[in-house]
Amino acid sequence: MGTSRKTSLRIEESGKRVRAYLGGHLVADSTHPSLVWEIPYYPTYYFPEADVRAELVEDGPGTRSPSRGDATAHTVKVDGAQAPGAALRYTELPGLVRLDWDAMDAWFEEDEEVFVHPRDPYTRVDVLAASRHVRVEVDGVTVAESSGPRLLFETGLPVRYYLPKPHVRMDLLEHTDTTTHCPYKGSAEYWSIRVNGTLHEDLAWSYRTPLDESRKVAGLVCFYNEKLDIFVDGVLQERPKTKF
């Protein structure tokens, strides 16, 4: 791990081959991209200028960053496709180009497509079978109870308790249109919970077809520790404080 010379910005070179596409055309392809932690939760890929295959047309000044310096914005053009302002160059990161993740159509780490954001090399996901007795309450009503949960441990987040659907009061759950995406777990569907005449929105979720590292939670239901009461072996757990 390292830092840029003039700032305390966290930055390091990745050993993965990373590619970005726009309109089906290759924009960048690098075997030594840099990982830059613009925020604490996950990094962003920056490409060496020599590994950017698309034309970059300067748009003008971009937003200044205290750690990365002044930015110059560029439109990305490749074989008729373009993404205005999707490339940034920063004065404190000379020779590197930042491509906006959402402006690109697809990203690959080696030959595997990656979604949402780059995987943090320091984030680990472990899913363990357990015999802990887990009970979930909403407003004093038990909505799930199981002695066969799967516990998911993810770096920087509280332990999550995934329970089999037969152990969940699915009659109290109402499926919603909400979906979220995680680069470590995949795409999740959500349920709200109605108890005592009150609807509590998007308190539970499940991954039908999780990614490989999280496949053990496929089809199981999890609940936000932060927003309801969970008892483990009869002990009420403290509600954690997280970005959720």
Angle CA 181–39–218, to nearest 5: 20
Residue 67 reports pLDDT greater than 50: yes
Antiparallel, parallel or unpaired: β 198-206 and 186-195? antiparallel
- pLDDT tens per residue across span 212-234: 889 999 999 999 999 999 999 99
In 3D, which of 45, 88, 41, 48 has the Cα closest to residue 68? 88
- pLDDT tens per residue across span 84-119: 999 999 999 999 999 999 999 999 999 999 999 999
| Residue 237 confidence (pLDDT) | 96
| Residue 5 confidence (pLDDT) | 45
Centre a 10 Å sphere on the Cβ of residue 161 and count the other Cβ atoms it contains: 24
Residue type (1 letter), 117: H
- pLDDT tens per residue across span 116-151: 999 999 999 999 999 999 999 999 999 999 999 999
Antiparallel, parallel or unpaired: β 160-163 and 221-223? antiparallel
- pLDDT tens per residue across span 36-64: 999 988 999 999 999 999 999 999 888 89
- pLDDT tens per residue across span 1-17: 555 444 579 999 999 99
Q: Token pair for residue 106?
A: 């697809």
Report how far Cα 155 is from the mean position of its chain's Cα atoms: 12
Q: What pTM was computed for the model?
A: 0.82
Residue 199 reports pLDDT greater than 60: yes
